[in-house]
Structures are given as C-alpha cells and as structure tokens.
Structure 1
Amino acid sequence: MLLSAAAALLLRAQGGGWRRCVLLAVVGAAVAGCQPSGAEVAVSRPPAMAASRPKNPAPDVRPITAAPDSLQLTPLLPLAAVPDSVRRAVEVLRARLGPAAAGLRPQVLERACVGYLNLRKAGLVRQAGILAVADMDMPSSEPRLWVLDLPAGRVLHHSHVAHGRGSGRLRARRFSNTLKSACTSLGFYQTLDTYQGKHGLSRRLRGLDAGQNTNALRRYVVLHAADYVSRQYREQHGQVGYSRGCPALPPDQYRAIIRTMGQGGCLYLSGPGLESKWLKGSVAASQLAAQGWR
C-alpha cells in the first residue's frame, strides 16, 4: 500500500511508528464518502465506542448504551393502540412474504406498514403498494433492506445497505438530523426524482419526520450505489463500509431498487429511539379499510 504524503512525513518524524501510519492509511481507505455537499464533510476520527456517550451531544443525536458492535438487537415492543384489523393484515402479509422476509422483525414490519398507511392517507405516498423498509439496528454485515409489494405479498428486493460513519461501526448506534453529523437519520422518507450524480443513478429523499430526518435534502441524503456495499468489499472486510448518512446500496442492485421505488414512494429506516407521528393505528385502519394496501 502506498502511504499518503502526510503519512510519509509522519513516518519520518516518528521513526518506528510506521505501524500506526499503515493502520491510519488502511482505515482511511476503507471509509468511503457519500454524495458531495458543502453540508457534509468527512469525519477525521472513527466513531466513538457505542457504550460511551459523547460529551455535550447535539440535542437530536441519540446515543444508545449497549456493548460495542454487539449482535443482539435492541428490543422493540409491538405498537400500542393498533386495531386488530391492521394487526391481522400485517400478520397475513408477513406469512405471504415467506422465507425472503424471515429476517424482517415483525415489530419493524408492523411499524413500516402502519406508517405507510398513514402516509397514503395524507397523500404523501403516491407509489401505491410499494414499501421499502430497512432495519438499521441490524449489523451492516446482514442484508437489512427489503422492498415489498404489499398487495401481492412479495419481496421484490433484499439487499445490504450502509449507515453513516457517524452512526457507528458494525452496528448503527447514534442517529442524527444535524448537518455535518455524518449520521444516519431514522424515520419515514418520500422518494423524489432521480439524477446522475457522482455515484451514477441516484434518487433524492425527503424526510417526513420532524426533528428526525427533515434535513435529508440539505444533507444530500440520497439512494445511490457504493463500492463499499459490494459483495467483494463485504467478503474482504466482513461488513459494509460507511457513508456520510446515505442509505447506500450494492452496485449490482441499486438500479433495480431505485427504479422499483419510483417517485413518491415510501422508505422507512427503523432504529432505536425512533419516534414518528405517522404511527397512528386508527388512521392506518381507516386507510386499510378504504383502499387495502393500495
């Protein structure tokens, strides 16, 4: 591996400290960037251990106390005040999705479906029947994004997805809506138009949860491909690399996922500490009764 000019200077200055230089070079090469933006800058240090809390954290950064890079997911209780009609419909849907959705936790699917129905009722989701849900509490080594055809009860796509480098390492443990945080922002998103960007075909996202993800457009949080989500990268490093907050996708799947999502679709990024006004069971029941999953 070739050292950067700065690392070479450090090598000469520190004599026997070459191992530190090589380590820094490897870490720097392994962390890739996201969409270019004046509001998004690289983080010069790796994220703090998950068990520690940062000093004076920003108000909307939610650190989660847990063992660093533990594979045990954060417990998630079923939603309260969800009518039986909605709960039964979600259970039927899960059964129809079959083995392809075996890794999608029932509590996450329920929240995603209730939110989708609320957003359809509010007219914010125009892509009827299509729902993308990512369980960002899962380790990035696992495929944790599902794109679902709700009326047909089918999994259209199942893939890995990256979290922001400010959110953690193997597990995303911190989430933020703040500019320059390099964190993943949880919540419901509306998919917008596509464009050709630094990473090729990309789709803009509008955050729909106030205080949780509403800076997505300003932060250039978009769906796009990234080499650090590729199969080769995962096999080499044992996990996905890091974005600056974008839910980056594998290069061999991103086009199909972006096109399936369409404009006016629904994306749900689930994770610990998420609060959303779109999880009202009564509204979901009304929409389900009127139009089903469409």
Structure 2
Amino acid sequence: MSLRSPWILSAALALLLAGCQLQADELRSTAAPRMVATPAAAATTQPTRDSSAMDPATDSLALTPLPSLPNVPDTLRQAIRQLHAALGPAAAQLRPEVLEQACVGYLTLHPTGRIERAGLLAVADMDLPNTTERLWVIDLQKAQVLHRSLVAHGEGSGHLRARRFSNEEKSACTSLGFYRTAGTYDGIHGYSRRIEGLDKGQNTNAFDRYVVLHAADYASPKYIEQHGHLGYSRGCPALPPEQFKAIIATMRVGSLMLLSGPGLASRWLDGPAAGRRFLKRGWR
C-alpha cells in the first residue's frame, strides 16, 4: 500500500504527534521549575500553592542536629534552661538549642539600640515541619508564651521542611537570621508588618524583597487538613488568618524575631557578650 494513502498519512501524523507529546510531558516532569519574573513587591509576597516542584518523598522528618552555642557562660545557660521549663507545655516543641540562639541574640542585640521592645522575643524554628506550630512569641520577663502559631516558609525553601535559604531577590526562599519589626501597612495581603533583616549576607534584603508578616489562608489548619501541609509564600513568614492580627499587634515596632534553621550563622550569637548583658540587666 502506498505511503501516499490519506489513511496512512493520518496514522503516521498521529503517531508523530503522540511521540512529541510524550517527550514534552517527560521534559515537564524532569525540568527545573521555571521562575516567572514579576514586580518586586508582588513577587516577594505572592503566595503559591503549587508544590509540584517539591518532591515530598525526599522530605525527612529527622531534624538537623543543633550543637549548643560555644562560650555561653554557665549562668546564662542555666537561666535559659529555667526559662524553657517555665514556659511549660506551650514550648514543649521549642528546641532548647533554638531558644538558646534566640536568647543569646536578644541579649547581644538589645544594647546596640536596634531592638526597642525589652523582654519580647519571637522565634520560629523553620527546621520543624510546616504542619507544626513552629512560631512562638515569648514574654521573657514573665516566662510566658504569648502566641504560638503555624508559619509558612518560602516556595524555594522546600516542601514539608525548609531546607534551602537565600537572601537573593526572586529566590522565593525564606531568609534565616534576626529581624527587627518595622511599621504596618495595608497591602495585597491586607494588614501586614514589615521586618528588617539584621544579619548581613543572610537576610538584609528582606525589606527590599517585601518579606513581611501577613495573613494567608494557605497558612491555616484548614489548609493542612485539605493538603497535608501548608502552602508556600515567596519568602514571607505568613501567618494564620485567625491569629495574624494579634501576633502583629504584639510584635510592635522594634521587636526582635529569629528565623532559625540549618546553616544559621549570625554575628549576634555572641555568648560572652550575651552573658555580660544578662548579669547586668537580666531579661530587661
């Protein structure tokens, strides 16, 4: 039969198109996720709920081991242990090593004038799964957990746990380090609070990236029930709609927040300086 037969030509064309479609599907399943450039303010706060670029099978629930900080005086280390115990069940999942990081940073930063809210400390352990209430806002002087909530990480940082961090524009990653809270505004996510990164090379682009505290429906228990994990921001520590107003109100201008995770390095983790400050003023 001649290849010029219309039926044969149609069949051959169908096979060719099927083969191209298969190849295209294979390329889509293996190619790196494509980043779409958008205006800076929108790009850094625009949420995404597409987790196809993140393979949950590669997620491990084994947390990254954290050594104790070096050169922390015994007096201060014991005070941090006592604080952790006094915080009670609400802080049971707050790892002592992460609380130690946050407290040492608070004591080192406060005398520099960068932190204006004495006795208030927010800490998020971004190494914990995003299904965990991994943000704590603490009153250090009263040894009380004021708020505990879910908090989302950036799309570029991982699936269930944040494993990659970046200070770069358009990375869509969470940035580790210490932050000072700044003013509030009404943006595309409604009532939001800006934050300023205090760790050069790790989070100092946060303000320009519009990494902010804001509400997101993908950072809620309901979203976890539906999807098995939180959704993802463009780097913002997004908060549950039911809690964000109270948390933002508590963390007024000049409050300190730590986003902790694997690879955190900060000049403010200065054990001797923190020890001297604690002996002089305590948590005040």
- Range class of TM-score, shorter chain: 0.7 to 0.9
CA deviation string 1:130-175 (max 9, x = no partner): 1000000011011100000000000000100000000010111100
Please say if residues 44 and 235 of structure 2, whose CA atoms lie closer than 8 Å, have aligned partners that are also in contact: no
- The answer to whether residue 50 in structure 2 is matched with residue 37 in structure 1 is no
* Whole-angstrom CA distance in 2 between matches of 1:36 and 1:273: 27
User: Matched residue of 1:156: which SS?
Assistant: strand
Alignment of 1:44-193 (within 5 A): 46-47=52-53, 68-193=58-183
Q: Note the alpha carbon deviations across 1:200-242, whole angstroms, 9 max, x for none.
A: 1100000000000000011100000001012211111111100
| Cα pair distance change 1:86/1:201, threshold 3 Å | same
TM-score in terms of structure 1 length:
0.80
- Tell me whether 1:233 sits opposite 2:207 in the alignment: no
Q: 1:261 aligns with which of 239, 244, 251?
A: 251
Contact 2:45 2:233 in 1 (8 A): no
Contact 1:39 1:218 in 2 (8 A): no
> Are 2:51 and 2:159, in contact at CA under 8 Å, matched by a contact in 1?
no
Identity of aligned residues (%): 59
TM value normalised by structure 2: 0.83
CA distance in 2, matches of 1:149, 1:220: 27
Does the CA-based 8 Å contact 2:44-2:211 persist in structure 1? no
**Per-residue Cα deviation, 1:221-276 (whole angstroms, up to 9, x for no partner):** 00000010122111111111000000000000000000111100000000001100
How many Å separate the matches in 1 of 2:68 and 2:266?
14
Equivalent residues, number: 254
Going from structure 1 to structure 2, the CA distance change for 1:222 and 1:42 (only over 3 Å counts) comes to closer
Asked whether the equivalents of residues 40 and 180 of structure 1 are also in contact (C-alpha less than 8 Å), the reply is: no
More helix by share: 2
What is the aligned counterpart of 2:201 among 203, 211, 218? 211
> Does structure 1 residue 248 correspond to structure 2 residue 221?
no
2:13 alignment counterpart: none
Deviations 1:3-53 (A, max 9, x none): xxxxxxxxxx97x99xx8xxx9xxxxxxxx9x9436678889844559xxx
Could you tell me how far apart the structure 1 residues matched to 2:75 and 2:55 are?
42
Contact 1:146 1:158 in 2 (8 A): yes
Unpaired runs of 5+ residues, structure 1, are: 1-12, 25-32, 51-66
Task: Note the aligned Cα RMSD (angstroms).
Answer: 2.7
- 8 Å contact from structure 1 (residues 47, 168) kept in 2: no
234-243 or 247-256: bigger deviation: 234-243
Query: For residues 47 and 290 of structure 1, what CA distance do their matches in structure 2 show?
Result: 50
In structure 1, how many angstroms separate the alpha carbons of the residues matched to 2:141 and 2:246? 19
* Contact in 2 for aligned 1:157/1:257 (Cα 8 Å): yes
Q: Output the CA distance in 1 between the equivalents of 2:144 and 2:271.
A: 23
Partner amino acid, structure 2, of 1:160: L
Provide the residue aligned with 1:3 in structure 2.
Answer: none
